[in-house]
Homo-oligomer: A and B are copies of this chain.
Amino acid sequence: MGVALALAERGRGRTAPNPNVGCVIVREGRVVGRGWTQTGGRPHAEAMALAEAGANARGAIAYVTLEPCAHRSPRGPACSDLLSEAGVARVVAALEDPDARTAGEGFARLEAAGIAVTRGIRTAEARRSMAGFLTRQALGRPHVTLKLATSLDGCIAMADGSSRWITGSQARAHAHLERSRHEAILVGRGTYEADAPRLDVRLPGLEERGPMRVLLSSTVQDVPGWTVIATPQDITALPRVDHILVEGGEAVASAFLAADLVDRLLLYRAPILIGGGKTALGDIGLTDLTAAHRRWAIVDARQLGMDRREVYERERNEG
């Protein structure tokens, strides 16, 4: 399942409106097929892995990060049918598909065809892996990551606005990698005017994966190469966007937080002190310190050169 989860990451940020699924087919302890949802959402991971496995799929185990789909579409057959036609002996799945067209029906079809089904393996990681699709299903909007790059004292720039560089080259390269895993990146008019040329994906081999560029502004319209929206809530209507990366600045970050539209915080923190610089956030509508607690849970942390990257997720089931 670990391999299937890693394969699923390859599709992240380019499979909307479909989930980015990963699939591994194992026969007699040997991997005979690997697949992941392709750009645009098809072929599905299972179809790709079965194609690679060929006759080796017979009697094999298929590990898949999401319940195989039960719905035929003009773009392809149902994966649960493909798996039973290929003669797979067992399917191990991380998560049930919340899509009403499948929701348990995929598992039911597999079992009806005599295939053993194991579910609920590494569910939390699979949820994280398909956060875009799941957020779209549950909340009707993309999954929102807010990125902040700060000093130890929480500044995103010096008082005069200079911010090159707070973080080091490894952290900056990593931030570019994050861009490639989102269908869209969003900035405010202030950041657009200050930094427009830099807002692309600049990693060798990933240049072509430029995400949709979205500008938040209530005053500007029609900016060539950009999709302009007038309120944070307008992200809901962005076509084929299940993951959006909010890159700033302060006004935009604060507006998204105030509207409780941030699902994931991506912090890059440099071991420096600036003092009296520009702060990461303005008013986010907090009226009482107690309410600030238990909203953010750390889910990942690692060192990137001198800097530290931390990922927090919004806790949505608090009391």
Contacts and interface: CB of A to CB of B under 8 A. Distances in A.
Interface string A272-304: 111110011111111001001101111000000
Interface string A150-188: 111111001100111110000000000000000000000
Interface in A298-315: 298, 306, 312
A155 B267 CA distance: 15
Contacts of A276: 254, 279, 281-284
Contacts of A265: 152, 273
A158 B282 contact: no
A276 B285 CA distance: 9
Contacts of A254: 275-276
Identical copies in the complex: 2
A302 to B, nearest CB: 12
A257 interface: yes
A283 B274 CA distance: 8
A158 B293 CA distance: 13
A284 B164 CA distance: 18
A289 B152 contact: no
Nearest to A151: B292
A271 interface: yes
B280 A154 contact: yes
Contacts of A270: 293
Contacts of A148: 153
B279 A284 contact: no
A154 B283 CA distance: 13
A312 B271 contact: yes
A306 B312 CA distance: 12
Closest 7 CB pairs of A and B: A154-B154, A275-B284, A272-B292, A275-B281, A276-B283, A276-B282, A153-B280
Given A165-B289, A265-B273, 18 more contacts: A150-B153, A152-B267, A152-B296, A152-B312, A153-B154, A153-B280, A154-B154, A155-B279, A162-B289, A270-B293, A271-B298, A272-B289, A272-B295, A273-B281, A273-B284, A273-B296, A274-B289, A276-B281
